[in-house]
Chains A and B, each alone.
Chain A
Amino acid sequence: MTMDMDSTDDFDALDSLNNLEQTYYQQGYKDGFEHGRLHGLFEGRAIGQEKAFEIWEEVGYIEGIALFWRAVAEKQTSGQAEGGKKVSPRAQNHIQTLLNLISTFPTDNPTPVPDNSSVQPDASMNAETESLKPQDEPDLAVLLERIRARYKLLCSSLGFRPRLAVASRPEDTGPDLLPRETSGVEAGVVMGAEGSGVAKGMVDGVDTRMLRF
């Protein structure tokens, strides 16, 4: 659009055009934001399901093993079950430790309201993700590793081979949706310190690379 800059009328015209831009931009932004918010919810939920499955299927599996053998041990102690492997005191110790560890494993992910000013168009996606990381990141991955290690100990004390490829099911959508970190969980749910009883952690498991807008 060309304008004669010499005329004051035209400056007014520019002003009103600027306002026009602003008005329509803002209206568009508002509509887009509302729509985007829905998509964020839907996608967040889908990712939440995925992460929950990825993590808790494994933890649940190990828990199921531990509960089963604890029941066997109890029956054996009371003389109600003769068959099967004897559950040694060492194995029973592993079982108890495992169940304790699992009972501290986060099932919830309360996110303190992040002050990421969502109405700041310049905030880059990465910066967004970074800002969601708590400083004292108490490690979910570490806890999971401890559970796995203990699980392997239990298996060897019972004389069984641990489950292989724990998280490789066809539904796993491949590396694209998974965090790049080594453990595969680090970028998932990061929870608050368990001992404190307050899970104050956060998740940055939302992979912003998935965003298509």
Chain B
Amino acid sequence: MDDDWLEEGPSVPAGGAGDPMVDQNWERITTKYADVGYREGISEGKLSSLQEGFDQSFKTSVPPVRRLGRLRGAAAALLAYTTGSKTKSTSTLPDEVLVEKVRVLISDLGRIKPSDILPIDQEALDHAKEHVGDEHEDLPREKKELDDLVDAFDVMAGQKVDGVDVAGERVQREDELLSLLEQRFDVLQRSAGL
């Protein structure tokens, strides 16, 4: 620090407006502190709402997940029932046909992914779009991409659940998809004489 500088301009308070050092460093300082604050703020902000987000979506996710689980369980039980005994006088379909249909349903149910039945977080997607290229933004995109990949493989392998268009996009999802599957199960259950 050179003393001349202080003596030359005592009327200009050091660190105040007009101090060349401040001008020089203004941007650097403010950016630095704002950045540090931002970084710490974002961590704390995140922690402040994680639980809230968890509780929100846990609650709303249970009903559709439960439906899917029930369907899977019931379909497995139906298969056991239809293969468990030869005497199905009440069955309206030949045993082999019914069993095969149940197997197909079970296989279709097995390919349902969580993202097929759980609501899309549109807010999160919109937010991610707003901040494309922002280094802070790394929302769980990988997961969606993985799902898309799985879908692509399914399409290639010619294995897709009913309700899929040519592009491999599932037409039905969530409630509609579950209803469709439930109907298929009901039909088979009735066919088994139940």
Contacts and interface: CB of A to CB of B under 8 A. Distances in A.
Interface of A: 1-4, 7, 9-10, 12-14, 16-17, 20-21, 24-53, 56-69, 71-72, 75, 80-85, 107-111, 114, 116, 118-121, 123, 125, 128, 132, 158-160, 163, 169-171, 173, 189, 202-203, 205-206, 208, 211-213
B33 A21 contact: yes
A16 B41 contact: no
A48 B127 CA distance: 19
B70 A37 contact: no
- The interface residues of chain B, by DSSP majority, are classed as helix
Contact of B46 (A12, A53, A59, A211): A211
Contacts of A211: 43, 46-47
A8 B59 CA distance: 61
Interface of B: 1, 3, 6, 10, 13-16, 19, 21, 25, 29-30, 33-59, 61-63, 65-78, 80-82, 84-85, 87-91, 113-115, 118, 121, 123-124, 127, 136, 138-140, 143, 146-147, 150, 192-194
B14 A13 contact: yes
Which 10 pairs show the lowest CB-CB distances between chains A and B? Answer: A60-B69, A44-B53, A64-B73, A36-B45, A32-B41, A28-B37, A13-B15, A48-B57, A40-B49, A52-B61
B14 A7 contact: yes
Contacts of A3: 1, 14
B90 A83 contact: yes
Contacts of A34: 41, 45
Given A35-B42, A36-B42, A64-B70, A109 B47 contact: no
Contact of B54 (A44, A114, A158): A44
Given A28-B41, A33-B44, A63-B69, A44 B113 contact: no
Contact of A60 (B16, B19, B68, B146): B68
B68 A27 contact: no
A60 B90 contact: no
B22 to A, nearest CB: 9
B2 to A, nearest CB: 9
B43 A57 contact: no
Contact of A4 (B6, B70, B139): B6
A17 to B, nearest CB: 6
A63 B51 contact: no
A61 B57 contact: no
